[in-house]
Amino acid sequence: MERMLIVMAGLPGVGKSAVAGELAHNLKCAVLSVDPIEAAMWRAGVARSEPTGLAAYVVAEDLAREQLRHGNAVIVDAVNDADAARAQWTALASELDETLAFIEVYCSDEATHRDRLETRRRNIPGFVEPTWESVTARRAAFDEWEAPRLRLDSMRPLAALTREAVEYVTQARSRNQ
């Protein structure tokens, strides 16, 4: 895939990393995930009391910038529930005059979402999974998001979500050429 910035968004546990991984496989591009970056900071001795979440977003931004400058497409995998986080990616795309596509993944079944969150076992050394209470407290931030994006319900099969995401980013790229 030609150079493009694809930004995943969604609450923890909805399945956005699964979609990001399949999308990256189909597009032959890298995924930059904020959670492993933040966990690496903790393993390196940066205190959890420091703003490592923000720092992880900044590191992901710089890595994405570098990939885009090398002509590569890149997928950023992060919650992106704050306006400031989403504005960060919009500014990066604008800075590089690059195509930007936001993809929000959500889970329409609350019981399934909670079960996914509470039973997932990601292999991210040192990363502490969020609680259901902390996740639900973040939900309102998505209700206020009005910018264009593809919304994918993770209750649907992963293959169908991936096909829809590939089509969406391909069309976004075509519109910007």
Domain holding 8: CATH number? 3.40.50.300
Domain that holds residue 61: 4-175
pLDDT at 122 over 90: no
> Would you state the pLDDT for residue 173?
83
Total number of domains constituting the chain: 1
**Structure confidence by residue, pLDDT tens digits, 28-84:** 999 999 999 999 999 999 999 999 999 999 999 999 999 999 999 999 999 999 999
Contact partners, residue 148, CB within 8 Å, separation at least 6: 102
Lowest mean pLDDT segment, chosen from 1-10, 109-118, 139-148: 139-148
- The pTM is what? 0.94
> Would you state the pLDDT for residue 1?
66
Looking from the CA of 177 toward its CB, the CA atoms found within 13 Å total 9
113, 13 Cβ separation under 8 angstroms? yes
Over residues 149-177, the mean pLDDT reads: 93
